[in-house]
Structure 1
Amino acid sequence: MSEITRLNITSIRNIETATLAPCPRLNLFRGENGSGKTSMLEAIHLLATGRSFRSGRPQTLIGEDSSEAIVYVELADGGRIGLSRRRRQANQLKFQDQKQKNWENVARAIPVQVLDSNSFRLLEGGPKARRRFLDWGVFHVEPSFLGNWRTVNRCVANRNTLLRQSRLDK
């Protein structure tokens, strides 16, 4: 885990270009409605997880007059992470100048957890959202979690397949 020392954003929603050198401890964003406060946080979340916390439609992230959105960060430990997203094309993610096929290394480097106006669903909704929220939190603090989580999910999927097959055999 490392702190972000520099953030560059290009064409994320209403942000054409922005550069930020955040403070190591606490950062407050303030401004008029629609000025890009949430878009700035969304850009960091997009880089860390590969998805938006606001919309399930990735093409809405890219600014209207642009064909590509870019988020780039420099970390206190010297790390560099960049994401390029084009309309109707796969993401291009780089960590330490190496192309990445998934977000595992990036998610470990930039731990994020979103609490927003929809977070009440953790209390009022079903167990799936709570489990996902807790799994994501544990992923960041327990190094062996991801491998164990994958093994458990594979075992549960195999068990469910066997149960379905045994019902069909009866």
Structure 2
Amino acid sequence: MILLLSTSDTDLLSARTSDTEFRLGNPARLDTADLPELLAGVDLVVVRLLGGRRAWEDGLHALLAGPRPVVVLGGEQVPDAELMECSTVPGGVCAQAHSYLAEGGPGNLGELYLFLSDTVLLTGFGFTAPAAMPIWGQLARPARELDDNVPVVGVLYYRAHQLSGNTAFVHGLCDA
């Protein structure tokens, strides 16, 4: 069992729909006193933090003091060397794990699970490299007649929402 703790809810949404058995949590909403229960039966922990080490210092300290391998990553597109250095697995494993998360989407999160299972837990499932995802895109919507008397507004949103399938709010804005 792999525990994914991420301050990025879109990571958690993608992991939830990835057809894997991640246990999930958001450190921003997690009391460190709840960690022992969350860690029961977990073989490996991945922590992805927006805001650096200080974003969840007590939680990191508790995880790193435990017996499980821990992968610690930043939540940005560019790897966070300070956080990766906290990890208890080799740097190459951290770099590859970061690539899966930075690309995002359920497919990459599923492959992250398989990659970590094989390279750290030695399971032998097999995995593929991170799939490059589009940096930007367009939300597929039915064509509508435009009324010259009504303003047209463009709606921009984070790519991570598109990749995780979290677009209902965008459709709501467009329909308003």
TM-score, length of structure 1 as denominator length: 0.27
Q: Is the helix fraction higher in 1 or 2?
A: 2
Higher RCO (C-alpha under 8 Å, 6+ residues apart): 2
Q: Is the strand fraction higher in 1 or 2?
A: 1
TM-score, length of structure 2 as denominator length: 0.26
